[in-house]
Amino acid sequence: MKSASSDDFDSGPLRVAEVKRSPAAFPVPRGRFLQVAQIALVVGLGLIVRLLLVQAPGYHDDIVIFSDWFKGIAVLPPAQVYPGVPSLNYPPVAVIVYELEALFVRLFWHGALTEYVLNIVIKLPAILADVLGSLLVYRIVRRHASHAVALLGCAAIALNPTVIYLSAYWGQDDSIPALLALFAIAELVYGNAVVAWLAIAAAIMFKPPVLVLVPLMCLYPFTARDAVRWGRLRWGAIGIASALILVEILALVYFPQPNPFIAARHLLAKIVQGSSYFPYTSLNSFNFWALLGPFFASDHTRFLFMSRHRWGDLMFTTSAAVIYWRYVRSRDPVAMLEAATLVLLAFFLLLTEMHERYLLYALVFCVPLLFKQSYRIAALVLSVTLLLNLEYGLTFMYLDDAKATVIDRYEFAPWLIHLGTLANIGVFIVLLRDFLGARIARLRFGS
């Protein structure tokens, strides 16, 4: 459903540099078939590599936990899922994915599920999300750059060793909410507000970190002039209402109550509970808190008049507010993607209780901006630091399972931690400086 708004990626007061990047500057070549074949080759290779790794051990304990969830979800009615699977701490959309997989598995597999089948079941949703996400990135980049640059963006998801490591090797599914959120932002600026709000609601109901993008989406109408602004506000209100209805339906299905408000409260309580299991400054994350001491230090420790947890909240809230404010003052066609990348990077770097894999969210939003040199470099750096961070985190968990005492398993490679952390912070500072500086320059000269 199209809103009355203009396409933020294609319209607005275009400058000369933007005209050069517009789709009209890159007419479709005669070799359209060759382009499709190149995309299919990149995506196909990415899928093959992932399928070859689907039986890799990753982190065994995670696979066991996810397998137990799947087996419980597969046999329980929706209203009994959370009481019947006490360890389940993911919101309902993740449950729906497992329920759909259970229906599919029953068509082709009878009897007890083997470890081989469970590995496929656990890893396949994230693998498919990677594949679809690479096509989504191509679609976004192609609106601003040539086929070659868009193909590079596609490959930066499909063939990125870091993305492959997380979904196909380790078995984590963060690419699903990350790419759902990217789809939501893209659809919003393409004029599909209802689809966008439903997509971001689904992403949040899979994993909550992308909730930090909601203020950006709420501010989107205010980046336009009066006539367009009212159209965006109208369709945005319809989209928000649709998203709230979706969330309420999920609450009533999985937490049935006569009173819908009580059902929603139970759903919210479950999400909050799931986000506060680990009260530590950093869970192996190469972020700001890694510079201040070893991992797994309590974030309730006070510094001056507040706990470290509150300091993290304050730093992130301040940074996000500045990014939101600068975004709403700009009519730049790609400012939404830049702001989303920066907010997700600040989320990873500044908050406590952070998992190492949550840097993926910023990386996913960084990739569609590859037509800008600073973001090409940023995507490369974040890919390397995240890959090293994932390997570090996985090594720690195996050392911790073995109760290793030969080395300090809580900080066994401090040089790597500090180098990776400084690289991540450096990327954030450079991108934030460019974002704020560009906005200030345009406001100053009235362009």
* 247 and 305 belong to one structural domain: no
CA 98 to each of CA 28, 78, 163, 166, 177: distance values in angstroms, whole numbers, following the listed order = 40, 11, 21, 19, 15
pLDDT at 440 over 90: no
Terminal Cα-to-Cα distance of the chain (whole angstroms): 32
pLDDT value, residue 438: 60
Residues 86 and 203 in one domain: no
446 and 306 in one domain? yes
Is residue 22 over pLDDT 70? no
In a domain, residue 432? The reply is: yes
Model pLDDT, residue 11? 43
Check the CA dihedral 241-242-247-252 and report its sign. Answer: positive
At position 327, the amino acid (one-letter code) is Y
Residues 271, 88: contact at Cβ < 8 Å? no
Per-residue model confidence (pLDDT) at position 30: 58
> Which residue is associated with the tokens 């540099």?
17
Residues 282 and 430 in one domain: yes
One-letter amino acid of 22 = S
The CA distance from 31 to 29, in Å, is 5
- Helices vs. strands in the chain: H and E counts, helices first: 18, 4
Domain count of the chain?
3
DSSP for 19-30 reads HHHSGGGSPPPS
DSSP tag of 402:
T
Query: Please, what is the average pLDDT of the chain?
Result: 88
HEC letters along 111-137: CCCCHHHHHHHHHHHHHHHHHHHHHHH
pTM listed for this prediction: 0.89
d(CA 179, CA 314): 27
Nearest to 273 by CA among 92, 99, 88, 98: 88
- Average pLDDT on 49-58 reads 92
Cα(246)–Cα(250) distance, integer angstroms: 6
The answer to whether residues 68 and 129 belong to one domain is yes
Query: Around Cβ 22, how many Cβ atoms within 10 Å?
Result: 16
The total number of residues shown for the chain amounts to 447
Q: Backbone phi, then psi, for 280, in 5-degree steps?
A: -120, 160
- Does residue 3 fall inside a structural domain? no
Q: Alpha-carbon distance 178 to 183, whole Å?
A: 9
Give the closest residue to 394 by CA, choosing from 130, 3, 60, 17: 60
Pair 434, 304 in one domain: yes
List phi, psi (to 5°) of 163. -65, -40
The pLDDT assigned to 29 comes to 52
**Does one domain contain both 243 and 360?**
no
Whether 84 and 150 share a structural domain: yes
Q: Which residue has the higher pLDDT, 338 or 333?
A: 338
In the predicted structure, residue 99 carries a pLDDT above the cut 90: yes
My answer on whether 206 and 145 are in the same domain is no
Is residue 40 in some structural domain?
A: yes
Flag whether 23 is in a domain: no
SS3 422: helix
Residue 139 · residue 363 · CB < 8 Å: no
Selected residue with higher pLDDT from 141 and 19: 141
Query: What pLDDT band is residue 256 in, cutting at 50, 70 and 90?
Result: very high
Looking at residue 331, what is its pLDDT? 72
Show the domain range for 358: 278-447
Tell whether 285 and 431 lie within a shared domain: yes
What average pLDDT does range 416-420 have in this prediction? 94
Residues 140 and 43 in one domain: yes
pLDDT digits (tens, 9 = 90+) for 348-394: 999 999 999 999 999 999 999 999 999 999 999 999 999 999 999 99
The highest-confidence range among 9-18, 74-83, 432-441, by mean pLDDT, is 74-83
Region at 12 (left for phi over 0; alpha for psi -120 to 50; beta for the rest): left
pLDDT at 233: 94
> How far, rounded to the nearest angstrom, does the alpha carbon of residue 128 sit from its chain's CA centroid?
15
Q: How many CA atoms lie within 13 A of 211 on its CB side?
A: 11
The average pLDDT across 429-437 equals 93
Residue at which a domain ends, from 248, 276, 304:
276
- Residue 288 in domain: yes
Residue 6 pLDDT > 50, yes or no? Answer: no
Question: pLDDT at position 10, please?
Answer: 46
| Residue 241 and residue 297 in one domain | no
Q: Residues of the chain with pLDDT > 90: what percent?
A: 70
